[in-house]
Structure 1
Amino acid sequence: MKTNKKLVPALAALALVGACATATPYQAATPSNRGYSNQQIEQNRFVVNFSGNSLTDRQTVETYMLYRAAELTVQNGYDHFRVVRRTTDEDTNFVPVGGTYDPYYSYFSPRYRFYGPRGRPIGYPYHWQRFGYSDPFWGGPSQYREVNRFEASAEIIMGKGPKPNDPAYFNADEVLMNLAGQIVLPTS
């Protein structure tokens, strides 16, 4: 069976665009994907992180981080956990919307047929009008949009027995039960 060489990259790009079109699901983070991660510091002390993409809001990132802390507590045989330190970082970028800047502009190449033998432009205005060419260095976008990404982090200490009467302590089983309806798992 002969495979079309242009079809494979096109399908890979389509799959990548489709994966980026949704908020980050509750999943383990990989080098190419966002999600949860944790690191054990002591026997009953962990640092838990959850990072989301630009479509994942702050509340979802914090909910997933708390759910992972409860899940980790139960997996290690503990009943409750205490949040020692908790932060949520926001990464804000501005990306161009529309405009004319394209670093991979296909018509911006000094070719012999365009510049001629002595470097003078041949068909200069016609070429620009025909292909809608604009200078890729000076004709930048006129509008930008703000893109925010959130990452929540918490240091937790796990314990056994009844939960102390302190708002910094969480009953792991209750957290898992109450937040289970808000957790979106990856499809496939």
Structure 2
Amino acid sequence: MKRLILSITCICLLQACASYSPYHPASNRGYGYSETQLSDTQYRIDFKAREIERGKAVNYAMLRAAELTLEKGFDWFEVVDRESDKKPPRISSGVGFGIAQHQSIGSRSSFGMGFEFGDRDRSEADVLLEIIMGKGVRPDVKQVYSANTLAKNLRKALAMPTSDL
């Protein structure tokens, strides 16, 4: 029983220490990225995250646009519309628990539980991009990006592993 409790505690601690990346497909709460196909070459990218700077949220949205462009077999994309919004903080609450085992002359186990209510602020950043994808020579327009180059540069800037796209 002691080993089971110790194992569960270690797993919980490791999970809590694992770094969280906001770059993932959108969850049921809407955090992460999603895309909507508008035409054969036109998509809307939505990236939403908690507790993130607006500039970093834009980078994640642009990375998703670059990766989607490559996934669909295109070379470049043009940003035809961009909206970014940093929503004001909101109050949140949470529940946590822990298990500990103490060894001295005798063996004791204890269980604790905590609740968090109150003024913990959580801000949200939401970025919408509308893009048009293309192949071949890029048009000489300000908001046109090479998908391959942009994906490599943003992954490096965001300290993410490189992709095989």
Which of 44, 47, 55 matches 2:44? 47
Residue identity over aligned pairs, in percent, reads 29
**Residue 90 (structure 1) aligns with:** 86
**Residue 60 (structure 1) aligns with:** 56
Q: Alpha-carbon deviation of 1:58?
A: 1.5
Q: Which amino acid aligns with 2:140?
A: N
Equivalent residues in 2 for 1:1-188, closer than 5 Å: 18=16, 24-32=21-29, 34-54=31-51, 56-95=52-91, 144=119, 146-181=121-156, 182-184=158-160
Work out the CA distance in 2 between the residues paired with 1:30 and 1:146.
21
Distance 1:24-1:149 versus aligned 2 partners, 3 A rule: farther
Q: Alignment partner of 2:89: what SS?
A: strand
Pairs aligned (count)? 138
Residues 22-31 or 164-173, more deviating: 22-31
Work out the CA distance in 1 between the residues paired with 2:92 and 2:72.
46
Q: Alpha-carbon deviation of 1:48?
A: 0.4
Query: TM-score, normalization: structure 1?
Result: 0.59
Distance 1:42-1:183 versus aligned 2 partners, 3 A rule: farther
Q: Alpha-carbon deviation of 1:18?
A: 2.9
Unpaired runs of 5+ in structure 1? Answer: 98-140
Distance 1:22-1:57 versus aligned 2 partners, 3 A rule: farther
Work out the CA distance in 2 between the residues paired with 1:44 and 1:96.
40
Contact 2:48 2:127 in 1 (8 A): yes
Unpaired runs of 5+ in structure 2? Answer: 94-117
Distance 1:148-1:23 versus aligned 2 partners, 3 A rule: farther
Q: Alignment partner of 2:136: what SS?
A: coil
Work out the CA distance in 2 between the residues paired with 1:94 and 1:75.
36
Q: Alpha-carbon deviation of 1:32?
A: 4.0
Q: Which amino acid aligns with 2:71?
A: Q
Contact 1:24 1:52 in 2 (8 A): no
Work out the CA distance in 1 between the residues paired with 2:136 and 2:92.
54
Work out the CA distance in 1 between the residues paired with 2:54 and 2:153.
18
Runs of 4+ in 1 over 4 A off after TM superposition: none
Contact 1:70 1:172 in 2 (8 A): yes
Query: TM-score, normalization: structure 2?
Result: 0.66
Q: Alignment partner of 1:179: what SS?
A: helix
